[in-house]
């Protein structure tokens, strides 16, 4: 059974733990690793690669739009680019990058040795990678999705869009949805079961609240879009009539299903990154976050209301005024919890003593972008005025302030903030400031004028526009801004690459932060914690310096759990230890399962039913191996097998 470890762990004991938790070396280890830190970094790297791909697509489009009536791209090329840009940024960058942070950080923040289901974690990464490649397979063939990321029927019915474009989209999203759902389930269970003793829910970092809320929402939202895509695939492949008017199907059904997913999803893209700010900003203000409880509850409230606002994407579809009024009111009121967070952040800076490091610049700059994106959202939430705003560049401005301002800026700040933990080295501060100011200026140059051209009536999703609209000058400015912004992002990446080898040694806690992940070495050892800590407050590393904290967390005493891969399981609310969780080691099963699923979807795409049949048999075979019972170890009575 578990033993309470002595204050200082003997070196031999630590080596034993490290050996137990270490991923095997070489290629096998690379493919079989279930270490949440490796998986987290893979998520981050892959999603940033997709960010760059989506960014290049955007720049090509901006060149096309720099002046009226240009012919760099044909309409079909443009349509594929804007569709792929949306799909890439929304599905393959914005959520996965946050999953990367959360995968890496959660166990470290929560005082655990891994996520609740390490193999599921690896599976969700491989599925993400393969579904991302699947969605891109059409690009070199000139068959990339071309119905927009929203993919409205009937334009995407086979009658109007006969190519493989939309089949790739529908199957790709179902495919990616599996990754999202297993990842989300893992986060939910990890939160509920694998926090360190004493890490009650009112002591969790806000990032954890954000990712938990987003994950719970994904479990409810993703099935809607998977179902919609499956129905559309049936319509296209077998002539069913879910969305086909001539067969008494209804096009608006797609919109309801899509946005019932889509709107909760956009909150899932921002709540974790707002959590990054809520956790990171206070460290650079040298005080705890103002209004922790309010911000945590605002996070959850936003998501709950977020499930009842989807119709604001459909104000112009001719729905009854009564329905529109309700959804309009809900969409305006949802700004209240956001206001709570904004004032909490400002109060934290105001009553703190800010330290002007690069992460602080990104987090503070984010607040302004958040508010601009918020008020433009408030304007579009007003159903009557949205009849003018919708489908103009005003909405393009809004969604980029939201998705870049609220997702990308915190992500970049988060990279500067946690890079030392992940790599053991500091990023360059000077280049860091340059990258922030380049990004900030470029971003506003690129996206602020979009509000103006939108108010002047420039419609969205157009491959060109006539000179009479009078928006050519603004568009040139937008294009220049976009390139400047891209240069800023490149500076961050250069900084990352250079700092990996040349950065100064970071040590365990370079920012003097207060949360658990900073109590271990940088980078952390494979087992994360030699001893599972016992947590007594929100800021275990600041307890001596905060006046109103009486209890003391124990970082050097706690559960040792050294008989194989073990971590502690605790109760959902108060985090009282009640079970020892036995964790799986390196495994090729996640990769094999993901490969089998990939062949399954490839078969469905090509209507090669035999391939799909064999792949499905493969899926079942891997699942049988996955769930094969393992012999109990030792004399423990209660053990969970993950």
Partner 1 sequence: MRRVGAASLVFGPALLAGCSSMPLSYLDADSPIGGRLAQLGWGLLGISVLVVVIIAVLLVGAVARGRSSPDGDALAVRRDAGGMRWIYIGVSISTVALIASVIWTLLTLKAVAEPAKAAPMTIEIRARQWWWDAIYRAPRPDLQFSTANEIHIPVGVPVRIELRSDDVIHSFWVPKLAGKTDVIPGQANRMWIEATKPGIYRGQCAEYCGVEHALMSFRVVADPLPEFTAWRARQLRGMQVRDGVAAAGSRVFAEHCSACHAIHGTGFGGAYGPDLTNLGERRTLAAGVLDNNPDNLRRWIEHAQEVKPGARMPDVPLPPNEVGPLVAYLEGR
Q: How far is it, in rounded angstroms, from Cα 384 to Cα 388?
A: 8
Decide: 282 and 350 in contact? Cβ < 8 Å. no
Integer Cα distance of 432 and 409 in angstroms: 13
Question: Which sign, positive or negative, has the C-alpha torsion 195, 197, 200, 205?
Answer: negative
Closer residue to partner 1 in complex, CB, 351/630: 351
Which 8-state DSSP code applies to residue 333?
H
Name the minimum Å distance from CB 71 to partner 1. 9
Please say which residue, 192 or 297, places its beta carbon nearer to partner 1. 297
* Contact indicator for 175, 130 with CB cutoff of 8 Å: yes
Asked if 278 and 340 touch (Cβ cutoff 8 Å), the reply is no
Exposed e or buried b per residue across 444-461, where buried means at least 16 C-beta atoms within 10 angstroms of its C-beta? bbbbbbbbbbbeeebebe
Residue 567, classed as helix, strand or coil, is strand
Q: What minimum distance in Å lies between the beta carbon of 158 and partner 1?
A: 13
Q: Which CB, 17 or 290, lies closer to partner 1?
A: 290
- CA 567 distance to own-chain centroid: 26
Residue 200 or 567: the one with the smaller Cβ distance to partner 1 is: 200
What does the alpha-carbon distance between residue 561 and residue 498 come to, in Å, rounded to a whole number?
38
Paired with 1 in beta bridges are none
Cβ-based nearer residue to partner 1, 78 or 101:
78
Provide the angle, in degrees to the nearest 10, between the axes of the packed helices 472-502 and 429-455. 160
The residue among 269 and 324 lying less far from partner 1, judged by its C-beta, is: 324
Least spacing, CB of residue 502 vs partner 1, in Å: 25
φ and ψ of 534, to 5 deg: -115, 120
Give me the least distance between CB of 12 and partner 1, in Å please: 35
Contact of 395 with 402, CB cutoff 8 Å: no
Is residue 61 within 8 Å of 52, Cβ to Cβ? Answer: no
CB of 402 to partner 1, least distance (A): 14
CB of residue 19 to partner 1, shortest distance in Å: 36
Q: What are the structure tokens assigned to 519, written together?
A: 């109590």
Q: Which is nearer to partner 1, 102 or 537 (CB)?
A: 537
| Nearer to partner 1 among residue 29 and residue 459 (C-beta) | 459
Question: For 549, phi and psi rounded to 5 degrees?
Answer: -110, 120
Least distance in angstroms from the C-beta of 458 to partner 1? 7
Q: Provide the H-helix boundaries in 239-334.
A: 251-285, 292-306, 321-333
CB of 80 to partner 1, least distance (A): 11
Closer of 117 and 243 to partner 1 (Cβ): 243
Least separation in angstroms between CB 317 and partner 1: 5
- The minimum distance between CB 602 and partner 1, in angstroms, equals 28
Shortest CB 345 distance to partner 1, Å: 9
* Identity of the residue, 229 or 334, whose beta carbon is nearer to partner 1 in the bound complex: 334
Residue closer to partner 1 by CB (options 139, 371) is 371
In the complex, minimum distance from the CB of residue 301 to partner 1, in angstroms, rounded to a whole number: 12
Per the structure block, which two tokens stand in for 152?
A: 């409205």
The least distance separating partner 1 from the CB of residue 288, rounded to whole angstroms, comes to: 4
Nearer to partner 1, 175 or 209 (CB): 209
**557 and 534 in contact (C-beta within 8 Å)?**
yes
Question: With b meaning 16 or more CB within 10 Å and e meaning fewer, what string describes 141-151?
Answer: eebbbbbbbbb
CA distances to 220, 272, 514 from 301, rounded to whole Å, are 16, 14, 26
Residue 471 CB, nearest distance to partner 1 (Å)? 8
**Helices 609-627 and 589-606: crossing angle, nearest 10°?**
160
Cα separation of 131 and 597, whole Å?
Answer: 9
d(CA 453, CA 471): 6
Q: Which is nearer to partner 1, 323 or 494 (CB)?
A: 323
- The span from the CA of 261 to the CA of 615, in Å, is 29
Could you give the CA distance from residue 600 to residue 190 in angstroms, rounded to a whole number?
Answer: 29
Distance, CA of 530 to CA of 417 (rounded, Å): 24
DSSP state of 516: G
Is 1 or 375 the residue whose CB approaches partner 1 more closely? 375
Query: What is the Cα–Cα distance from 629 to 588, expressed in whole angstroms?
Result: 17
């Amino acid at each position: 059974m578990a033993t309470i470890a002595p204050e200082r762990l003997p070196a031999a004991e630590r080596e034993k733990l490290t050996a137990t938790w270490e991923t095997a070396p070489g290629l096998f280890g690379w493919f079989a690793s279930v270490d949440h830190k490796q998986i987290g970094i893979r998520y981050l790297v892959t999603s940033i690669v997709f960010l760059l791909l989506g960014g290049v697509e955007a720049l090509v489009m901006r060149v096309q739009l720099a002046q009226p009536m240009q012919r760099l791209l044909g309409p079909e090329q443009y349509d594929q680019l804007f569709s792929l840009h949306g799909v890439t940024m929304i599905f393959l960058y914005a959520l996965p990058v946050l999953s990367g942070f959360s995968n890496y950080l959660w166990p470290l923040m929560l005082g655990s040795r891994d996520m609740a289901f390490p193999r599921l974690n690896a599976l969700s990464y491989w599925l993400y990678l393969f579904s991302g490649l699947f969605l891109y397979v059409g690009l070199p063939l000139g068959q990339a999705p071309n119905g927009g990321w929203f993919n409205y029927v009937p334009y995407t019915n086979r009658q109007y869009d006969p190519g493989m474009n939309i089949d790739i989209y529908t199957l790709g999203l179902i495919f990616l949805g599996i990754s999202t759902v297993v990842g989300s389930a893992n986060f939910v269970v990890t939160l509920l079961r694998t926090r360190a003793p004493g890490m009650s829910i009112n002591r969790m970092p806000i990032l954890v609240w954000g990712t938990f809320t987003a994950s719970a929402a994904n479990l409810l939202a993703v099935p809607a879009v998977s179902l919609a895509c499956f129905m559309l695939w049936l319509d296209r492949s077998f002539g069913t009539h879910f969305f086909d008017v001539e067969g008494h199907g209804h096009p608006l059904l797609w919109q309801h299903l899509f946005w019932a997913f889509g709107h909760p999803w956009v909150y899932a893209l921002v709540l974790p990154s707002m959590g990054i700010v809520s956790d990171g900003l206070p460290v650079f203000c040298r005080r705890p976050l103002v209004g922790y409880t309010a911000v945590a509850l605002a996070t959850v409230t936003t998501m709950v209301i977020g499930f009842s606002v989807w119709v604001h994407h459909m104000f112009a579809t001719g729905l009854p005024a009564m329905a529109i009024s309700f959804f309009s009111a809900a969409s305006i009121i949802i700004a209240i919890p956001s206001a709570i967070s904004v004032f909490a952040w400002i109060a934290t800076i105001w009553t703190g003593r800010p330290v002007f490091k690069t992460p602080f610049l990104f987090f503070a700059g984010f607040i302004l972008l958040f508010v601009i994106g918020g008020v433009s959202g408030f304007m579009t939430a007003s159903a009557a005025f949205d009849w003018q705003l919708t489908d103009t560049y005003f909405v393009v401005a809004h969604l980029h302030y939201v998705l870049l301002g609220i997702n990308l800026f915190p992500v970049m700040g988060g990279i500067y903030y946690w890079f030392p933990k992940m790599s053991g080295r500091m990023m360059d501060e000077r280049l860091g400031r340059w990258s922030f100011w380049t990004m900030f200026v470029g971003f506003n140059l690129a996206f602020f004028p979009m509000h103006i051209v939108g108010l002047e009536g420039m419609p969205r999703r157009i491959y060109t526009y006539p000179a009479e609209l009078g928006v050519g000058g603004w568009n040139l400015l937008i294009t220049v801004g976009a390139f400047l912004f891209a240069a800023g992002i490149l500076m961050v990446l250069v900084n990352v690459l250079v700092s990996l080898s040349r950065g100064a040694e970071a040590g365990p806690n370079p920012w003097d932060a207060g949360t658990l992940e900073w109590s271990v070495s940088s980078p952390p050892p494979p087992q994360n914690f030699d001893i599972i800590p016992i947590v007594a407050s929100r800021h275990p590393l600041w307890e001596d310096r905060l006046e109103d904290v009486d209890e003391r967390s124990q970082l050097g005493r706690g559960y040792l759990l050294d008989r194989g891969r073990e971590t502690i399981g605790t109760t959902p609310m108060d985090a009282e230890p009640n079970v020892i969780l036995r964790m799986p080691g390196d495994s090729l099963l996640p990769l094999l399962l993901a490969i089998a699923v990939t062949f399954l979807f490839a078969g469905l795409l090509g209507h090669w039913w035999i391939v799909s049949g064999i792949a499905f048999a493969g899926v079942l075979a891997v699942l049988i191996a996955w769930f094969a019972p393992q012999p109990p170890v030792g004399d423990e009575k209660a053990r969970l097998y993950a």
